[in-house]
Amino acid sequence: MGDNPTPIIVAGLPMYNEEETIGTVIRRTEKFVDHVICVDDGSSDSSSRIAEKCGALVERHRFNRGYGGALKTIFSAARQLSADVLVTLDSDGQHNPSDIPAIIAPILNGDADIVIGSRFIAGGASVDMPAYRKLGIKVITAASNLSSDLDIKDTQSGFRAFSRAALERLRFDSEGMELSLELLEDAHEKKLQIAEVPTMIRYDVPKGSRFTAISHGFTVLSYAVISLSQKKPLLVLGVPGAGLLAAGAAMGMRAINSVGDITEVTVGPGLTAAWIGVLGLSLIATGVVLQSARSILRLLIVKEFGID
Rg (CA), the chain: 24
pLDDT at 245: 59
Same domain, 168 and 273: no
Instruction: Give the CATH number of the domain where residue 216 resides.
Output: 3.90.550.10
Res. 293: pLDDT tops 60: no
Q: Is residue 260 part of a domain?
A: yes
Residue 213 CB-half CA count within 13 A: 12
Q: Is residue 242 part of a domain?
A: yes
Q: Is residue 205 part of a domain?
A: yes
Q: Is residue 2 part of a domain?
A: no
pLDDT at 93: 93
User: Given pLDDT bands bounded at 50, 70 and 90, which one contains residue 127?
Assistant: confident
Averaged pLDDT for residues 268-292: 61
Averaged pLDDT for residues 81-102: 96
Averaged pLDDT for residues 266-271: 56
Overall number of domains in the chain: 2
The domain in which residue 137 lies consists of 9-230
Please provide the average confidence, as pLDDT, over all residues in the chain.
Answer: 79
Same domain, 151 and 272: no
Most confident of 174-183, 229-238, 266-275, 295-304: 174-183
Strand, coil or helix: 26: helix
Averaged pLDDT for residues 124-142: 77
| Bigger pLDDT: 266 vs 285 | 285
| Bigger pLDDT: 252 vs 173 | 173
Same domain, 170 and 217: yes
pLDDT at 296: 57
Averaged pLDDT for residues 231-247: 59
pLDDT at 14: 96
Which of 184, 213, 230 is the last residue before a domain boundary? Answer: 230
The answer to whether 68 and 176 are in contact (CB under 8 A) is yes
Strand ranges (E), the chain? 9-15, 35-41, 57-61, 85-88, 114-118, 125-127, 160-163, 194-198, 200-202
Averaged pLDDT for residues 211-231: 52
Same domain, 222 and 268: no
User: Given pLDDT bands bounded at 50, 70 and 90, which one contains residue 69?
Assistant: very high
Residue 73 CB-half CA count within 13 A: 22
247 by Cβ neighbours in 10 Å (0-12 / 13-18 / 19+) ranks as middle
Same domain, 269 and 209: no
Containing 50, the helix (H) or strand (E) segment is: helix 47-53
